[in-house]
Structure 1
Amino acid sequence: MKHIFTFFLFLTSLSYAQEKCETPNENIQDLNTISITKCSIEDVKEALETEKVKEISTRKRHRKLRKTNTISAKLNKVEEIKNKNSLVEKLNLKEDILTSLDKVPFHLVEQIPLFKECKKTPILQQSKCFEKEMIKHIVRNFDYPKEALRKKIEGKILVQFTIDKKGNVVDIKKKGPENSELLKKEAHRLIDALPKFIPGSHKGDFVNVKYALPIIFRVP
């Protein structure tokens, strides 16, 4: 009975040893050959499964990242289109308002009115040419009222006027300090003496253009 029990334990141990993977003794392994055992096969299978899981996980991350980037790009594109459309609408509205105005401000009109001396001036320099010719006209024609000079009346007169569709100066308005009627009268004369302009235009049509400038009267 004892021998039978011992034999049973031996078979059980042998069976367990066959199922259990053991690392071969490196001292007796032939270094010039590759040993393929059940353990090595199981290790390879496990490694392959692990790599497969990693690959699937990486693919999922990449797909998710691409999807996120695509959605983000589409949202940015939509926002960009909205902003452009909004800007176009504002510009169109601005142009509609300007076109509907009876008088377009000088700094907003497409083509400003011009002195004849500025006709051949490049468009980027036309505004400076206009100002230069305006100053030359005022200096050339300026005449300090004698009575204002005698009474030492001085001050700044703001003059606003319109250059109409035919290039004529119309609707002259003056604003200044108290007791400056003599100065206002001289300012009016100076502006009224301006030569005929090449009229300004907007969107291809001649328009009335509003302009303003200060004229300073100072006793010497």
Structure 2
Amino acid sequence: MSTQERLNELAKTKREYEEIRKKEWDAYLVRVEESQIVKKQKKQADSIEKSKLADNVKKEVGDLPICNNQESPYYVRKNPTTGFEEKITFTDYIRRHVMAKFNYPEFAMDYELEGRVLVQFYIDKEGNPQIKEANGPKNGLILEEEAIRIIKSLPTAIPATCDGKPINIMFAIPITFQMQE
């Protein structure tokens, strides 16, 4: 095979590769658009629901519980050195958890997607994470999905309490996806 024939073959392979990448990216952009439509629909539905509840909320504000003693969610682990159980605050635990479970999506690396994703979630009365929403950079759906996966993988915590009774409590955690230079 001559040099010119090899160059032509390489050029053809490069064109095929670029075509495949373009199709992948276009398919991903369709997913992003669909996700944005779903988010808008959910916000509209939530807005309608909130407006329906507005009158009831005015009546119930006086019934909101006031906590004399509120405790945040936490985890308990056995200290490997002492053997005693120790309490780990939720914020300390989640910081370590995110670092341990963080996995930069290969697709995001291939297409150089970066940015910060803010995951809003709550720890329910049973101590389980429930995702409210995740907001990331433009075209960052895959980063949002990874951030949600990380939060959903949290183990069950000891739930927050208000005067000894379990309550739901909201959190917002930023997770930054940045490629090394």
Q: Is residue 159 of structure 1 aligned with residue 105 of structure 2?
A: no
Partner secondary structure for residue 171 of structure 1: strand
Give the residue type in structure 1 aligned to 2:105.
Answer: P
Q: Distance in 2 between matches of 1:138 and 1:109?
A: 29
Give the residue type in structure 2 aligned to 1:190.
Answer: I
* Counterparts in 2 of 1:174 and 1:109: CA distance versus 1, 3 Å: farther
Q: Is residue 186 of structure 1 aligned with residue 146 of structure 2?
A: yes
Poorly superposed stretches of 4+, deviation over 4 Å: none
Report how many aligned residue pairs link the two structures.
114
Q: Is residue 145 of structure 1 aligned with residue 105 of structure 2?
A: yes
Deviation at residue 162 of structure 1 after TM alignment: 1.0
1:46-71 per-residue CA deviation (whole Å, 9 max, x = no partner) reads xxxxxxxxxxxxxxxxxxxxxxxxxx
Q: Distance in 2 between matches of 1:109 and 1:175?
A: 33
Partner secondary structure for residue 177 of structure 1: coil
* Counterparts in 2 of 1:109 and 1:149: CA distance versus 1, 3 Å: farther
Structure 2 counterpart of 1:51: none
The structure carrying a bigger strand percent of its residues is 2
Q: TM-score, normalised to structure 2's length?
A: 0.56
Q: Distance in 1 between matches of 2:132 and 2:167?
A: 17
* Counterparts in 2 of 1:203 and 1:157: CA distance versus 1, 3 Å: same
Question: Gapped runs of 5+ residues in structure 2?
Answer: 1-60, 79-84
Q: Is residue 219 of structure 1 aligned with residue 179 of structure 2?
A: yes
Contact 1:109-1:209 at 8 Å conserved across structures: no
Structure 2 counterpart of 1:203: 163
The RMSD of aligned alpha carbons is: 2.8
Q: Residue 70 of structure 2 is aligned with which of 89, 104, 110?
A: 110
Contact 2:121-2:172 at 8 Å conserved across structures: yes
Contact 2:122-2:129 at 8 Å conserved across structures: yes
Question: Gapped runs of 5+ residues in structure 1?
Answer: 1-93
1:141-190 per-residue CA deviation (whole Å, 9 max, x = no partner) reads 11000010111110000001111111111134101121000100000100
Q: Distance in 2 between matches of 1:146 and 1:95?
A: 51
Q: Distance in 1 between matches of 2:62 and 2:77?
A: 29
1:3-31 per-residue CA deviation (whole Å, 9 max, x = no partner) reads xxxxxxxxxxxxxxxxxxxxxxxxxxxxx
* Counterparts in 2 of 1:95 and 1:219: CA distance versus 1, 3 Å: farther
* Counterparts in 2 of 1:211 and 1:151: CA distance versus 1, 3 Å: same
Contact 1:109-1:200 at 8 Å conserved across structures: no
Q: Is residue 176 of structure 1 aligned with residue 136 of structure 2?
A: yes
The structure carrying a bigger helix percent of its residues is 1
* Counterparts in 2 of 1:151 and 1:166: CA distance versus 1, 3 Å: same
Q: TM-score, normalised to structure 1's length?
A: 0.47
Q: Distance in 1 between matches of 2:98 and 2:148?
A: 11
Contact 2:69-2:163 at 8 Å conserved across structures: no
